[in-house]
Amino acid sequence: MLFLLMAALGLAADMTGKWRFQVETDAGSGSPTIVLKQDGEKLSGTYSGQLGEAPVTGTVKGDDVEFSFEAAPTGEKLTVKYTGKLDGDKKMKGSVDLGALAKGTFTAEKER
């Protein structure tokens, strides 16, 4: 039984690396880069894009991914939240919520 559990954990994708995003919202589109580091189910990293640069925190559980960061593009602080699913170990897609600014979708691909 322990062997099967270890084998299942070994198949989980490692999200550590540089990810290129394509974001489409009702307020426009963007192509940020997010560098992630995975430690178990915890994610940390850095967002870099139209909203500036910011530290990222989140979780990955199986194929479910969730992370967020704070930005202040209009002077007021807002939380940007990404919620999605992994598609293999190099792709993900899902939704993005920019608080009162916009909501939309994203796709992302991990650089090799």
Residues 6+ positions from 26 with CB-CB distance below 8 Å:
102, 103, 104
Q: What range does the domain containing 55 cover?
A: 2-110
- Residues 41 and 16: their CA atoms lie apart, in Å, by 11
C-alpha to C-alpha distances, 45 to 6, 58, 73, 91, 99, nearest whole angstrom: 26, 9, 19, 17, 21
**How far is residue 86's CA from residue 75's CA, in Å, rounded to a whole number?**
33
What is the mean pLDDT of each successive set of 10 residues along the chain, which is 112 residues long?
43 85 94 97 97 96 96 88 95 94 96 82
Number of independent structural domains in the chain: 1
pLDDT for position 7: 40
What CATH number should be reported for the domain holding residue 21?
Answer: 2.40.128.120
Q: How far, CA to CA in Å, does 16 sit from each of 38, 41, 42, 85, 98?
A: 5, 11, 11, 15, 24
Cα 52 from Cα 75, distance rounded (Å): 12
Q: Are 78 and 101 in contact (CB under 8 A)?
A: yes
pTM: 0.86
pLDDT given at position 12:
59
